[in-house]
């Protein structure tokens, strides 16, 4: 099943929870299975396009899985893989891997952080500003 979702908007519910609204796309048969699985909870926009509502942000784009029991759930395997590799290496490397993975998952480019400038003192060379 290859249902894809694209974030359309978000809003705060009456209970104060942030709810994310995703447009659902797929083949006719996949969308029919999605509609069936949602039952009374199926929602569509004004053009009739299927919508999926969730309180958990899964990125700007993602995929949905319809389980054998007919439950709709997001495919979180990319997030799980990113968390695993960041934990596997830990330290500075794990932190950088996590930063890159988060940027990829959220559909954003990581900020370019300039490398620190190494200050190397040369023997016999005067320091700038000293006479």
Would you list the domain boundaries of the chain? 3-75, 76-110
Over residues 57-101, the pLDDT tens digits come to 998 999 999 999 999 999 998 888 888 888 888 888 888 888 888
**CB neighbours of 53 closer than 8 A, spacing ≥ 6?**
19, 20, 21, 22, 43
Over residues 5-17, the pLDDT tens digits come to 999 999 999 999 9
Largest Cα separation within the chain, whole Å, is: 82
Tell which residue, 55, 46, 2, 57, has the closest CA to residue 24.
2
For residue 109, give both structure tokens: 């480019």
pTM comes to 0.72
For residue 10, give both structure tokens: 């978000």
């Amino acid at each position: 099943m290859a249902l894809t979702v694209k974030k359309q908007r978000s809003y705060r519910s009456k209970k104060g929870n942030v709810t994310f609204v995703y447009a659902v796309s797929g083949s006719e048969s996949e969308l029919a299975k999605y509609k069936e699985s949602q039952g009374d909870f199926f929602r569509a926009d004004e053009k009739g396009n299927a919508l999926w509502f969730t309180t958990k942000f899964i990125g700007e784009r993602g995929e949905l899985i319809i389980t054998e029991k007919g439950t709709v759930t997001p495919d979180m395997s990319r997030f799980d893989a990113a968390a695993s590799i960041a934990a596997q290496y830990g330290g500075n490397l794990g932190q950088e891997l996590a930063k890159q993975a988060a940027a990829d998952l959220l559909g954003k480019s990581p900020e370019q952080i300039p490398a620190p400038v190494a200050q190397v003192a040369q023997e016999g060379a005067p320091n700038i500003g000293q006479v």
